[in-house]
Chain A
Amino acid sequence: MKSVTASETVVKTTAARNIGSSPGLQRSVRHYALEVFALLAGAVIWESLGWSLGLQWLPPFSQVLVALVQFLASGLILSNLQSSLLSLIVGFALSLVFGLFLGALMGRYRVVEKAFDVYVHALFVCPSILFAPIFFAIFGLSDASRIAIIFVYSTFVIVINTATAIRTVEPSLVEMAYSFGCREHQIFTRILLPASLPLVFAGIRLGMGRAVKGMINGEMLIAFVGLGALAQKYGAQFDAAKVFAIAMVVLIIGLVSNAFVQALESRLTRWAD
């Protein structure tokens, strides 16, 4: 079969293939060095302010590190961390399943959107911690209270982002799919889901951050367990070094979970860069 030849030029071909070679690598090394430098500078400033001001609520950074090491050595942090993380994972998984499901339906079907929109936005705007006493009344001093708080914190931003993502999928792609005879479920799996992935992931990342907040808030205010309870306890004793040490643990949880979602995201949505 004789074929017609392509005589237009190819755009971006070699440039696109070269990402990851030396110039890109150099840039990422430079960014990394900058980040390390910013962290070191922050630590030095904190340390010197801590010594020079002598404020009770601002212990030198080194004392925070000492407190952190003591926590780790005594196993106090690890046991509390374990229980906190478990409820974080369960709560976030529930909100992920529910949020993606409801969000997808709201994005696709106007009726569903009309029915749920006002509730979703109200619950999104409302400070989730308001529900703490209610969950406490329902679930008592159990992990379920914590999980419920985490769920309320993280679900609605995922719903809203997913609905927007599905609703704003390029209509011509959906039309194209119909023209090739796609059924509704094929429209979902072959067009809407992949097309909405970048925005959906943005929502998942926001939801993840809110889930960590929900975890700590729930622990501090209702279920007096886990990291939140520890922070509450040392806060009441005005032991700022230990509170900061716990804050650092939470910070690391936040960063690690974010990095995890981001890694997944960049694997799945490389095409959108």
Chain B
Amino acid sequence: MIRVKNLTKEFGSMDNGGGGVLALSSIDFEVRDNEFVTVIGPSGCGKTTLLRIIAGLISYQHGEVSIDSHPVVGPGPERAVVFQNFALLPWTDVLGNVTFGLDVRGATKNDSQAKAKELIKLVGLEGFERRLPKELSGGMQQRVGLARALAVNPRILLMDEPFGALDEQTRRLLQEQLLQLWERERKTVVFITHSMEEAVMLGDRVMLMTPRPGKVKEMIDIPLKRPRPPDIEKSAAFIEIKEYLWENLRAMQTDQP
């Protein structure tokens, strides 16, 4: 279980000086084991900052962040991150990218290659093992990013707007496939997004955040049954939640005429 309690993060302040930017303020929430939580909020609300704190990539000033009651002090083997810009190594091929996490954790070459090939197959990239990232489309690159994260067999998957850089069609395809993968093995997922459809389509709950400084405005249950078929977005419940999110987000927009 991920527990975030009274979390506050300020950027650019020296301990004595002040004058920094308050990115997150008194954040409180929990993510249960095997739960899929999507996080949505206006641009600059600190969603990505929150994810990076849970990933152990940046520090925070106040509050507690813990995983199974162990405080987060850095990255850990139970967590893996999928990045918005894919963050693939351009000098090595698909196989080299997917084995990255296993290699740095000291797996033998045979083990890591076998595991990587299994995951490359799982994300539908069989036959592309020897391709460099630049030879792949954006959607395929993010499949590599997903396979790399899954390869280290994390219990918690932290996804930072993973489909945000993709075109609409590719994004919907990958959403469906992510759902299929998740049905097979229900990992704990925190998924940052700026798409309302995506937030409702994927999540068990949606966490709605306020503009800077980011706070939790509301945790919204998504009572849609699983497995969710692609046409679930036509259902009344789906549309209702989506509209509710939009009303809230619209009210937060500061740059409306």
> Which A positions have Cβ atoms within 8 angstroms of B?
1, 3-13, 16, 170, 172-173, 175-182, 186, 190-191, 194-195, 197, 269, 271-272
Partner of A177, one of B85, B104, B137: B104
Q: Which residue of A lies closest to B102 (CB)?
A: A180
Q: Which of A3, A10, A172 has the most CB of B within 10 A?
A: A3
Q: Verify A4–B75 contact, CB threshold 8 A.
A: no
Q: Verify B83–A5 contact, CB threshold 8 A.
A: no
Supply 9 further A-B pairs (C-beta < 8 A) apart from A6-B125, A176-B81. A4-B123, A4-B180, A12-B135, A175-B87, A180-B75, A180-B100, A181-B75, A191-B89, A272-B90
B177 sits at the interface (CB 8 A): yes
In the assembled complex, the Cα of A272 lies from the Cα of B121 at a distance in Å of 27
Q: Verify B57–A178 contact, CB threshold 8 A.
A: yes
In the assembled complex, the Cα of A10 lies from the Cα of B140 at a distance in Å of 8
Q: Which of A10, A181, A190 has the most CB of B within 10 A?
A: A181
Interface residues of B in 130-170 (CB under 8 A from A): 131-132, 134-137, 139-140, 143, 152, 170
Q: Verify B87–A8 contact, CB threshold 8 A.
A: no
Q: Verify A179–B121 contact, CB threshold 8 A.
A: no
In the assembled complex, the Cα of A12 lies from the Cα of B133 at a distance in Å of 11
Which chain A positions have C-beta within 8 A of B170?
Answer: 8
Q: Verify A10–B121 contact, CB threshold 8 A.
A: no
Partner of A7, one of B52, B80, B87, B173: B173
Which chain A positions have C-beta within 8 A of B81?
Answer: 176, 179
Which chain B positions have C-beta within 8 A of A3?
Answer: 121-124, 126
- Report the count of interface residues on B (CB-CB < 8 A): 45
B20 sits at the interface (CB 8 A): no
In the assembled complex, the Cα of A173 lies from the Cα of B118 at a distance in Å of 24
Q: Verify A181–B135 contact, CB threshold 8 A.
A: no
In the assembled complex, the Cα of A4 lies from the Cα of B126 at a distance in Å of 10
In the assembled complex, the Cα of A186 lies from the Cα of B102 at a distance in Å of 13
The minimal Cβ–Cβ distance linking B207 to chain A, given in whole angstroms, is: 21
- How many A-B Cβ pairs are below 8 Å? 100
0/1 per residue, B81-121, Cβ < 8 Å to A? 10101010111100000001101110000000000001001
In the assembled complex, the Cα of A191 lies from the Cα of B89 at a distance in Å of 8
> Given that A179-B75, A180-B104 are contacting pairs, would A271 and B137 also be in contact in the complex, using a CB cutoff of 8 Å?
no
Which chain A positions have C-beta within 8 A of B122?
Answer: 1, 3-4
Partner of B89, one of A8, A194, A269: A194
Partner of A271, one of B56, B83, B132: B132
Which chain B positions have C-beta within 8 A of A191?
Answer: 89
The minimal Cβ–Cβ distance linking A159 to chain B, given in whole angstroms, is: 23
Q: Which of A4, A10, A179, A272 has the most CB of B within 10 A?
A: A179
> Given that A3-B121, A194-B91 are contacting pairs, would A179 and B80 also be in contact in the complex, using a CB cutoff of 8 Å?
yes
In the assembled complex, the Cα of A273 lies from the Cα of B13 at a distance in Å of 41
Partner of B57, one of A8, A175, A186: A175
In the assembled complex, the Cα of A272 lies from the Cα of B104 at a distance in Å of 23
Q: Verify A10–B87 contact, CB threshold 8 A.
A: no
Q: Which of A8, A182, A191, A271 has the most CB of B within 10 A?
A: A8
B55 sits at the interface (CB 8 A): yes
Q: Verify A11–B152 contact, CB threshold 8 A.
A: no
Q: Which residue of A lies closest to B167 (CB)?
A: A8
Q: Which of B76, B87, B103, B136 has the most CB of A within 10 A?
A: B87
B77 sits at the interface (CB 8 A): yes
Give 21 CB contacts A-B under 8 Å. Answer: A3-B123, A3-B124, A3-B126, A6-B125, A8-B140, A9-B137, A10-B131, A11-B135, A12-B134, A13-B135, A172-B87, A173-B87, A175-B87, A178-B57, A179-B56, A179-B79, A179-B80, A181-B76, A181-B77, A181-B104, A195-B89
